[in-house]
């Protein structure tokens, strides 16, 4: 009887091992096929994040202007809710390989703690978008705290096995919050500098500041935007700091500022051959 039980047990273990190998191979094949499909995808969206207190409608004027400046592209808008549910508006048109995607958050309050939560929600949203549209390459734009969301996401969640962010443009992003003296580094800035080695080394970054009073855009100090250099410069492949001036350089106006629109058109959408020369 003991011999029978021992034999039966060995047969069971063998069958279990074979089943695990078959299931594991099936999973590997499915995973490999998914990655190959993502690599071969022609879709290369420009994904935009608004700042605090703003919604997925924040870039309506920006996109309307860009569509008039070059080829018109479709728009998909998302809101990520606090329970991880995602609601959609609009759609990506058939054969549109360079659509716009705008991701907003139900909780769009202004704090470092919420920026970290938004980065996690962003990771969730990108994973869901990839399941639906099977893209790997994309460009990113973040206005104000939206640029912080992208930066935390890149340092904490981004994997170059899943995605290839080609260009990041942050607009009026307060890397040191409202602190004017760049020597007084906030906890957030210290954390972003500490984790900078996690940034993709093949990334191109444009850091855009606005000023109409020599100090800033009435909300974010220029010096706070410029501290982005301590995070990106000499870490990513190319880093360029740009400052726009004039009456339309106030913080809320920056996404529709003519100079900023030209920067997006030329350096992200590649509507013209002329590009800014990077600083490193």
pLDDT for 4-27, tens place per residue? 555 655 666 666 666 666 666 665
Give the Cα separation of 180 and 149 in Å (integer). Answer: 21
DSSP readout, 109-130?
Answer: --SHHHHHHHHHHHHHHHHHHH
pLDDT at residue 15 in the model: 65
Sheet holding 86-90, edge to edge: 86-90, 75-80, 100-105, 46-49, 137-143, 164-171, 204-211, 238-245
Closest CA to 75 of 84, 86, 83, 67: 67
Return the bridge partners of 189, or none: none
- Reply yes or no on whether the pLDDT at 132 is more than 60: yes
pLDDT digits (tens, 9 = 90+) for 239-267: 999 999 988 888 999 999 999 999 999 99
pLDDT (mean) for 211-224: 76
Give the Cα separation of 180 and 222 in Å (integer). Answer: 8
Distance of CA 44 to the CA centre of its chain: 13
Closest CA to 48 of 105, 116, 113: 105
Helices marked H in the chain — which ranges?
2-40, 60-69, 112-133, 145-156, 187-194, 222-226, 229-232, 258-267
CB atoms < 10 A from the CB of 244, how many? 22
pLDDT at residue 219 in the model: 84
- Reply yes or no on whether the pLDDT at 195 is more than 70: yes
- Reply yes or no on whether the pLDDT at 108 is more than 70: yes
pLDDT digits (tens, 9 = 90+) for 159-172: 999 999 999 999 99
Closest CA to 58 of 132, 108, 118: 108
Distance of CA 138 to the CA centre of its chain: 9
- Reply yes or no on whether the pLDDT at 157 is more than 70: yes
Pair type for strands 86-90 and 46-49: unpaired
Q: Taking all residues of the chain, what is their mean pLDDT, rounded to a whole number?
A: 89
Distances (CA, A) of 167 to 47, 125, 158, 203, 241: 11, 19, 14, 6, 14
Rg (CA), the chain: 22
pLDDT confidence band for 38 (50 / 70 / 90): very low
pLDDT at residue 39 in the model: 46
pLDDT at residue 33 in the model: 47
pLDDT at residue 99 in the model: 98
- Reply yes or no on whether the pLDDT at 46 is more than 70: yes
For residue 205, the surrounding DSSP H or E stretch is: strand 204-211
């Amino acid at each position: 009887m003991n011999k029978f039980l021992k034999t039966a047990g060995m047969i069971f273990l063998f069958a279990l091992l074979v089943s695990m190998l078959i299931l594991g191979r099936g999973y590997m094949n499915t995973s490999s096929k998914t990655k190959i499909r993502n690599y071969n995808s022609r879709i290369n969206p420009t994904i935009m994040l608004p700042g605090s207190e703003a919604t997925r409608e924040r870039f309506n004027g920006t996109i309307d202007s860009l569509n008039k400046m070059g080829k018109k592209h479709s728009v998909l808008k998302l809101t990520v809710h606090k329970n991880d549910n995602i609601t959609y508006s609009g759609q990506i048109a058939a054969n549109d390989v360079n659509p716009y995607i705008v991701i907003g958050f139900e909780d769009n309050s202004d704090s470092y703690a919420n920026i970290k939560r938004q980065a996690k929600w962003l990771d969730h949203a990108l994973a869901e978008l990839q399941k639906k549209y099977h893209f790997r390459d994309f460009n990113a734009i973040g206005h104000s705290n939206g640029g912080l969301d992208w930066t935390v996401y890149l340092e904490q969640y981004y994997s170059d096995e899943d995605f290839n962010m080609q260009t990041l443009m942050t607009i009026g992003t307060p890397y040191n919050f409202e602190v004017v003296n760049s020597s007084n580094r906030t906890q957030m800035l210290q954390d972003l500098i500490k984790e900078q080695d996690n940034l993709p080394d093949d990334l191109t970054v444009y850091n855009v500041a606005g000023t109409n009073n020599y100090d800033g855009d009435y909300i974010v100090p220029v010096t706070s935007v410029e501290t982005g250099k301590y995070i990106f410069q000499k870490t990513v492949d190319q880093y360029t700091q740009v400052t726009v001036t004039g009456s339309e350089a106030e913080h809320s106006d920056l996404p529709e500022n003519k100079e900023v629109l030209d920067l997006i058109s030329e350096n992200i959408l590649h509507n013209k051959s002329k590009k800014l020369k990077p600083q490193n």
